[in-house]
Structure 1
């Protein structure tokens, strides 16, 4: 069959348990490319490989990732969906979509690195993500939020599956006991309430419906986070600076600008070659970082590593023919022959992986 949003599939849509959160969902399989498309009320619209092809994805981290970046199945005009398809294929299908060819919809690439870089590493980061989600979905000050039990687990970053010995949580791992998940949920809610960030009630009935409201201290912390994030439109660019790289600089700037972001080049805001607290602050405040590794300069490698350590998405560029360090070469890189190749490729990558 063909769905205007999803392309061609081998079987009719069937109702299943979502493999990520366990909610009632719908799935359609395309066995010719070994992919399954899902529509879930909690995780939204997403596409995974069949069988063991998703073994590198941590399902405990994937569940909140999909919820916090949800492309809702309730929006009939929503063509976007998260997918494990390669970035280049996502870019191709998105270009076709812009031209009016909707066979493949509007795929947004995701992979294990992207999910793990986003996932909060500390309790404080987890709290920040929760509060920012509530802020972004607030229509009115003092709004009362209502979440289903499964939505609550994803919102609060509660693990649903047992961890394997290697730390990876994939499709084959056992579901945790519901009582254990509920205890973890109540712990997170109590922590937020004790810090006066929220007030809440969690139904004791079978539905376990959650209602919560942001409190003044919650709004205050959100205000500080929004100032810190510099409106979320700044992007640090790490590259070799000099007269010989000016065409490269402007090509990168154009690609970032075309994607509706603001490129920050550190030599335009500071005038020495040392790693300074100011540079690190620009990395922390950036929504993501763009790195060109053509000249293999140590500064670009450092800035990329620092950004990844903070969980920032990193987009790599490199001129065709340049040999990269082995660990860097394993990452998906935008290759360019001439600088004019960069703006469109970079813009498409940003829209496919960041927006």
Structure 2
């Protein structure tokens, strides 16, 4: 073991050689947490987000807190950064802080330390911003200071309870997609990826409900930890209304999936992670709306939805690249959200 500067935050950290990959380092950093990194990634890392070095600190620390340290390789650096749901306001950062304190508090009256080096746990950009937001949380009644330690106040416990009731402790994942016989293989592939990551996939046409379908859909999205949205375009059809041959009385069916855009946008507005997928074909890619073209989309082919096997981590030591859509979905979930608490519900096909 030796002490050198962390490749991400440039603070001193402990380095050990990886036991599984000869050219990798295992790093334990007080700021970024525990992570593994390849030599190629280490040389590339400074060029990925030169103006926002804290982004990788956020994602590696979050994975470390979940006891699921990341392995950084050259090919996934940009994907990791693109996967981050940036806090949309200081209040969102304070929410992260409240959840962290509530998780670390073993007893309600026992205060915990909040060292300035812990700023990534709240998705703060620096130790200075972290201190500022701690003071604001105290002003809001969320935190109480006890000497050099902190504990949740009554309002903090109330807020933590509200947050945990929604997306933060959910094991559900909503799937927004086109319902058709042509998408049955896609459906099974996505369900296998989500289930193997420890979450329960929710697809609207597989659930019983009463009342308005959109009330049901929006309620299920609110209960989910994340959303998988498929933006594949369906071949358009012109359908005439009965009793008339006038073209102006015809309507276009299928095509771009407006419902998927609506549901993905609703989830984004709630602050949920949305994993974008799309079939790798010109008809679908060329019709992606400008607003979603910038997203880190998982593109898939028909060959990648034939099999839904998700290999175990120890089966991918020497071939870690995903072999099918199920593994692509699984990898993205584990990378940005960590493993859920459920056992796989759907059998893989080989």
Residues 1:61 and 2:55 are matched in the alignment: yes
CA 306–128 in structure 1, closer or farther in 2 if over 3 Å, else same: same
Contact 1:39 1:45 in 2 (8 A): yes
Residue number in structure 2 paired with 1:287: 225
Give the Cα–Cα distance (whole angstroms) in 1 for the partners of residues 298 and 65 of structure 2: 26
Root-mean-square deviation (CA, aligned residues, Å) is 3.9
Structure 2 unmatched ranges of 5 or more:
234-255, 311-324, 339-350
Contact 1:84 1:110 in 2 (8 A): no
Report deviation, 1:291. Answer: 2.0
Aligned length: 285
Residues 1:214 and 2:152 are matched in the alignment: yes
Q: Secondary structure at the match of 2:173?
A: strand
Contact 2:114 2:149 in 1 (8 A): yes
CA 330–264 in structure 1, closer or farther in 2 if over 3 Å, else same: closer
Residue number in structure 1 paired with 2:346: none
Give the Cα–Cα distance (whole angstroms) in 1 for the partners of residues 112 and 89 of structure 2: 25
Residue number in structure 1 paired with 2:64: 70
Give the Cα–Cα distance (whole angstroms) in 2 for the partners of residues 50 and 232 of structure 1: 34
Residues 1:266 and 2:232 are matched in the alignment: no
CA 59–308 in structure 1, closer or farther in 2 if over 3 Å, else same: farther
Contact 1:334 1:346 in 2 (8 A): no
Q: Secondary structure at the match of 1:26?
A: strand
Task: Please list the CA deviations of residues 31-68 of structure 1 after superposition, one character each: whole Å capped at 9, or x if unmatched.
Answer: xx998653212311233734455434322333344333
After TM superposition, the score normalised by the length of structure 2 is 0.66
- Mapping for residues 1-355 of structure 1, pairs under 5 Å: 14-27=2-15, 38-46=27-35, 47=37, 49-51=41-43, 53-57=45-49, 58-70=52-64, 80-86=69-75, 111-115=80-84, 117=85, 119-151=86-118, 153-160=119-126, 181-182=127-128, 184-200=129-145, 210-229=148-167, 231-267=169-205, 268=207, 276=214, 279-295=217-233, 296-308=256-268, 310-321=270-281, 323-325=284-286, 328=293, 331-337=296-302, 339-342=305-308, 344=310, 345-346=325-326, 348-349=330-331, 350-355=333-338
After TM superposition, the score normalised by the length of structure 1 is 0.65
Contact 2:87 2:123 in 1 (8 A): no
